[in-house]
Chain A
């Protein structure tokens, strides 16, 4: 993952104290983004317009797999109103070079090929040319005039098919790498990587088992489904600089990628992150930005590009479809003795699925002695997968947490008690590396067990399911600057894109707490790339957790400045001044009898005593504070139609310490509903030609309000020991358990085990028919 722990990474130990603002429910009207969002003022990428701008559109491959023999753009270029056309010839080829981009790694050789096809089109929707014109209608006309000569090749969509020896090959230069494998240059393959990690002795573990359960699950690709399609406006100037306004989860990372792809100096590029209309990992990758920039360079005018929903589905990252095999054994009294998994993950057209992350999460909730995890990263003719909230984890949890349920049943144990018997805790050795620190998994199970939900009676054809999930919290580069304004109010600029609207508020609360001023006296904003030092993306649940470390450091830096001003005025040393309740005070009576000074008073003195009060931080935050959650769901299975209705849903998750509880509830609910949608409905459906058959919200059906019940949330608080406020990442865990929890509930309701995703009515009906053919025939 490119994130080896650095000894210089910043940790600040947890400070146990009574907070005045943090953890409370401040007036949300003072949320920096709230008014703009309810009045239509908030500016998302597609809302930006620059004077003289052109409209850009992308021509995409209609084929799943084809050699691009030639592209003739001459007719399109002649069309009045067309100002620029770009193809592969307008972008430099790239060497193999890896870089972190969100939770996944990217390879620039592939990034450039994904944004604009070079030798081959590798999926339906792969860009082959882009046009900039005076209007959208002219751009669309021009696309019809571009002649692309394709040689259509056989394609492969399914991960199991792509792994076969005789599968059509996507890349001529791909040979399986990885654990225990020397790349064999005589064997081209779609399997890019084989991973393996283990603990103990798996054979011995299975020998000790009284019961063994084996599950094979299959999941279809699902899309992040953000409501805002990708959009970018680029403005290339004659001076060789570009400004890009775009929807991104990481403007600094985008800036570096644009620079690389266009062979420019990073400092000549400014990326302004627009208000983001949802990302969930799907806006960690550049798609339109380099195209808009290059069109703008060629046309000498700003270029605006907005994807259609069809383009979003066909060409931006869904999550991996998967095939997972899990085998687990336990003793009669419910102790797991062995746990083995094989993860086969679609990467899409280029290597690099969420496999490395998924393989970390497989069994990481349980304290196990014997583990073997094997994984394959497999290319196939689909859009390159992108991160999607806990990338890769819901799918493997589907196989593992259902197996856990079946083991519990074989032992005659309650599924929560079975999990408690095996639950990971502080010191548990993981199969992938370090032992776990202070975590709150057991607490989530106990909260579930004690909840009123467990006592709700179930009717006929109703069942209850439980499942748990784990996700880590990444750290990485983080920057923040706080300026104390002349009247003693505070303006915070930070660099982690606020993907939820909650981060700006959470940071304002922390600044208010630190400075001892009211919440409404703090304004927060995300700074563009020219405002701050490099800042990693909002990914890996790091936004609030890592961002707030920089916020705390920057605020404490400003407090130090404020104390220095008081010290100069009082003619004492700075360390003789302390900051308390929004005032500089003498540290003790010995220092002298000085009237405490407020921030506003100090600001008035600042010019004379050295200059404006401000603070900043540029730190690499240490990774840490993993999150655990447990979900309970009640469903009703309609035996006539196969429809599964979610009746009741409860979430128990360790948030470390909640900064703004209402936002955390919203994250829990939103993540769970995405998981419910994935479990019951959402899937990519391909035709036998390899084209996507449901690239729209009508046929790719995400949950609507009437599909889901109220969702109870229980915030468990086991502080993260390496964060001053105990914060853990919370955004990703909630999407992990729903698939498995719903499968477990269906089993409880109807006695059938669904391991084929999505658990849509036809699949449920089929399972019911197979379980009781006689009954169904009646």
Chain B
């Protein structure tokens, strides 16, 4: 299969990569660029484990073709902390024990960050609906919701 050259900015770094025309952005991130923090739970857009932002929009990277990412700016979990300083959401996820197995965590963090950018002071219900595209099979969501609400408070200060 002929590969296509694409250039994107990933977590601030300009990146060149050759991709197959049928390859999803998720596969490009994981298999070509070895950014394995973004996870695959379904590859059909139903679990949110592959959440990233493209030009500030929250997407399931399994539903985006790699070639479509050409010329865009992508943010993944690997870019969330700055230096050795965790993002407040990362801090609060740990503090509230909002992660058990952790496979959903990168996707949830990306989705939660996007949620708080859109709505800095959400209610519990808004958090629950805002994260309804991200499946977590371990936690029953309570500690995730608590962590996001707590992070929202901290981030507003």
A contact residues vs B (CB 8 Å cutoff): 28-29, 31, 33-44, 46-47, 49, 135-137, 224-229, 275-280, 306, 308-309, 499-502, 662-663, 665-667, 669-674, 696-698, 702-706, 708, 710-711
Contact = CB atoms under 8 A, between A and B. Distances in A.
A706 B47 CA distance: 14
A721 B62 CA distance: 50
B100 A500 contact: yes
B103 A38 contact: no
B105 A670 contact: no
B157 to A, nearest CB: 20
9 contacts: A28-B94, A34-B94, A41-B37, A226-B103, A227-B101, A309-B41, A666-B97, A669-B140, A710-B142
Nearest to A306: B40
Nearest to A223: B137
Contacts of B46: 309, 696-698
Given A227-B137, A280-B137, A38 B109 contact: yes
A705 B108 CA distance: 11
Interface residues of B, number: 60
A305 to B, nearest CB: 14
Contact of A229 (B41, B96, B102, B127): B41
Nearest to A231: B40
A40 B138 contact: no
A276 B102 CA distance: 8
A280 B100 CA distance: 12
Contact of B102 (A136, A277, A674): A277
B128 to A, nearest CB: 4
B8 interface: no
B48 to A, nearest CB: 9
Given A28-B97, A228-B39, A666-B138, 4 more contacts: A35-B94, A38-B102, A697-B41, A708-B140
A670 B100 contact: yes
Contact of A31 (B41, B94, B129, B141): B94
A697 B1 CA distance: 30
A44 B103 contact: yes
B43 interface: yes
A703 B76 CA distance: 25
A36 B22 CA distance: 31
Nearest to A661: B97
Given A696-B42, A696-B46, A705-B134, A38 B140 contact: no
B44 interface: yes
B140 A47 contact: no
B99 A225 contact: no
A47 B29 CA distance: 11
A523 B16 CA distance: 39
A696 B46 CA distance: 8
B67 to A, nearest CB: 15
Interface of B: 1, 20, 22, 27, 30, 34-44, 46-47, 49, 76-78, 80-81, 86, 90, 93-97, 99-106, 109, 124-125, 127-129, 131-145
B39 A227 contact: yes
Q: Which 5 A-B pairs have the closest CB atoms?
A: A40-B37, A277-B103, A37-B102, A673-B140, A669-B140
A666 B101 contact: no
Given A696-B42, A698-B46, A666 B100 contact: yes
Contacts of A309: 41-44, 46-47
Contacts of A38: 80, 86, 90, 93-94, 99, 102, 105-106, 109
Contact of A704 (B30, B135, B142): B135
A39 B81 contact: yes
Contacts of B109: 38
B35 to A, nearest CB: 8
A39 B94 contact: no
B152 to A, nearest CB: 15
Contacts of B40: 46, 229, 306
Contact of B143 (A41, A276, A669): A669
A33 B138 CA distance: 16
A669 B142 contact: yes
B115 to A, nearest CB: 11
A44 B39 contact: yes
A708 B141 CA distance: 8
A223 to B, nearest CB: 10
B137 A278 contact: yes
B147 to A, nearest CB: 10
A365 B125 CA distance: 37
Given A34-B94, A702-B135, A227 B47 contact: yes
Contacts of B127: 705
A46 B139 CA distance: 22
Nearest to B127: A705
B99 A34 contact: yes
Contacts of B30: 46-47
B78 to A, nearest CB: 5
A499 B103 CA distance: 11
B119 to A, nearest CB: 15
Contacts of A228: 39, 41, 101, 103
